[in-house]
């Protein structure tokens, strides 16, 4: 069964898309935890970081570089932001299609909750 994010990739459900290329798609989180909360999702359905393999290294590198570009394009790179990959249950993962959260627009706290 395809993930909710694959449904967004396939335009089966709507999203506010901010970036897309052959490998990934980026859109605004439906329930933002910061003034800027953007998700970046590979089109390949890797369930979580725990299931990524060495073969996925170029794709994961691509996502990190695009996360930086998206933060720049959206205007919150200089002020700062956080990139998060929630992984499995105790990591707080709800959608089992690997994704980066790009969070910005406010001061982030450390340690995270």
Q: Given the rule CB under 6 A, which residues bind ligand 5GP?
A: 4, 13, 15, 27-31, 39, 86, 92-95
Q: Which residue carries 């995270």 as its tokens?
A: 112
**Beta bridge partner(s), residue 104:** 36, 81
End-to-end CA distance of the chain: 31
To the nearest whole angstrom, how small is the minimum distance from the Cβ of residue 73 to ligand 5GP?
18
Going by the DSSP 8-state scheme, the letter that residue 107 receives in this structure is P
Q: Of the residues 37, 97, 99, 101, which is catalytic?
A: 99
Q: Which is nearer to ligand 5GP, 38 or 76 (CB)?
A: 38
To the nearest whole angstrom, how small is the minimum distance from the Cβ of residue 4 to ligand 5GP?
5
Q: Which is nearer to ligand 5GP, 18 or 59 (CB)?
A: 18
To the nearest whole angstrom, how small is the minimum distance from the Cβ of residue 81 to ligand 5GP?
15
Q: Which is nearer to ligand 5GP, 11 or 54 (CB)?
A: 11
Residue 37 known to be catalytic: no
Residues that are catalytic: 99
């Amino acid at each position: 069964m395809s993930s909710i994010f694959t449904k967004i990739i396939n335009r089966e459900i709507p999203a506010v898309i901010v970036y897309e290329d052959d490998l990934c798609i980026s859109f605004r989180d439906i329930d933002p935890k910061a003034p800027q909360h953007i998700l970046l999702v590979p089109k390949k359905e890797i369930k979580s970081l725990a299931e990524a393999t060495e073969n996925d290294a170029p794709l994961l590198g691509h996502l990190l570089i695009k996360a930086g570009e998206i933060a720049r394009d959206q205007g919150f790179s200089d002020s700062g932001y956080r990139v998060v990959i929630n992984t499995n249950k105790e990591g707080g993962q709800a959608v089992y299609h690997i994704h980066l959260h790009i969070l910005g627009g406010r001061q982030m706290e450390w340690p995270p909750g």
